[in-house]
Amino acid sequence: MSELEENLKLYEQPVFINLILLIFSITLFVLKLIFSILTKSVALQADAFDSMTDIVMCFTALIGILFTKKKTE
């Protein structure tokens, strides 16, 4: 771990920020999917699956951050 990362508080670290974004994106996806099923809204269902791309991006960024950390250690 670099000296810069050691001085960062927990909420300033990239892994923590990315995990919060991932949790928020998953929650948003689930809520949109539930409400789209309840209201039978195809537009809301499409928006829920569009939110799934945000989840994939968060996973990709998290893997990138973890590989970068592993490589520098």
Looking at the domain assignment, is residue 28 inside a domain?
Answer: yes
The pTM of this model reads: 0.77
Looking at the domain assignment, is residue 33 inside a domain?
Answer: yes
> Looking at the 3D structure of the chain, how many domains does it have?
1
Looking at the domain assignment, is residue 4 inside a domain?
Answer: no
Looking at the domain assignment, is residue 5 inside a domain?
Answer: no
Report the C-alpha gap between 48 and 62 in whole angstroms.
21
Report the C-alpha gap between 54 and 45 in whole angstroms.
15
Report the C-alpha gap between 61 and 57 in whole angstroms.
6
| pLDDT for residue 9 | 75
Low-confidence ranges of the chain (pLDDT < 50): none
Looking at the domain assignment, is residue 43 inside a domain?
Answer: yes
Looking at the domain assignment, is residue 3 inside a domain?
Answer: no
Q: What is the pLDDT of residues 14-32, one digit of tens each?
A: 888 899 999 999 999 999 9
Residues in the chain: 73
**Is residue 46 a contact partner of residue 33, using CB atoms and an 8 Å limit?**
no
Task: Write the CB contacts of 69 (distance below 8 Å, at least 6 apart in sequence).
Answer: 1, 15
